[in-house]
A = this chain, B = another copy of it.
């Protein structure tokens, strides 16, 4: 049986303050935890029902706690808890802009919605984008809502938080890559030349890309609207940020 303080400890990790203090995050559900166990992420503790331990071989280095359904419900953030809660170490990745040469990298400028961030991480995994650079104001990746929305992709994608203008200043002059910015008034992405490497900047859900980043953008791109195909008055003003990111990544990759 879990002690009060154990329950409090697990629940405390729902808050950023305690995640940072302990350098730990929570992930839940059978599929998610199995992906984490098979990844470079260090799993420290597993709280799970007997079913989970019967069906999965767990490395001895991981502290394990067999718990009952009602205990799982107490520590879970899901409306339908699913066998297991894992406590994992927040990984440290070094960030060197020149190491991203020849790769396609996403840059998120203040994406605020945790669901959008999680969906973008999952989508990046599908489209083979290994690294995501986030502004310091972007939603926190270890927020449980983000972790769960990634559907396991959090174990494969490297996400960095940094001051974006300073980050781009570090580019060596001989290793300049194109920097694409998704803007409402950009060039039609379907007809614009794209490259197999470079950065794609996606702006905030309501404000778009910060003006201070405009000077570093080398290619302004835009997804054209096809609202004129319908008979209705008015038209959609924008696409959801995760949806726009996916359409852009699809367009880059389809030409590869």
Give A contacts to B, CB under 8 Å: 35, 38-40, 104, 115, 119, 122-123, 125-130, 149, 151-153, 155-157, 190, 223, 225-240, 242-243, 246-247, 250-251, 253-254, 256
Contacts and interface: CB of A to CB of B under 8 A. Distances in A.
Nearest to A254: B190
A123 B228 CA distance: 14
B226 A126 contact: yes
As for how many copies of this chain the complex holds, the number is 2
Main secondary structure of the interface of A (DSSP, over half): loop
A40 B234 CA distance: 11
Contacts of A40: 232
Given A223-B250, A240-B242, A129 B230 contact: yes
Given A119-B243, A240-B119, A240-B122, A253 B232 contact: no
B156 A239 contact: no
B231 A130 contact: yes
Given A225-B126, A235-B125, A247-B246, A156 B240 contact: no
Which of A130, A246, A250 has most B Cβ within 10 Å? A250
Contacts of A256: 226, 229
A226 B128 contact: yes
Contacts of A237: 151-152
B190 A228 contact: no
Given A125-B236, A236-B126, A250-B251, A230 B156 contact: yes
A30 to B, nearest CB: 13
A227 B115 contact: no
B242 A130 contact: no
Given A126-B227, A156-B233, 20 more contacts: A119-B243, A122-B240, A123-B240, A125-B227, A126-B223, A126-B225, A126-B239, A127-B226, A128-B229, A130-B229, A130-B230, A149-B240, A151-B237, A151-B238, A153-B236, A156-B230, A156-B234, A223-B250, A226-B253, A247-B250
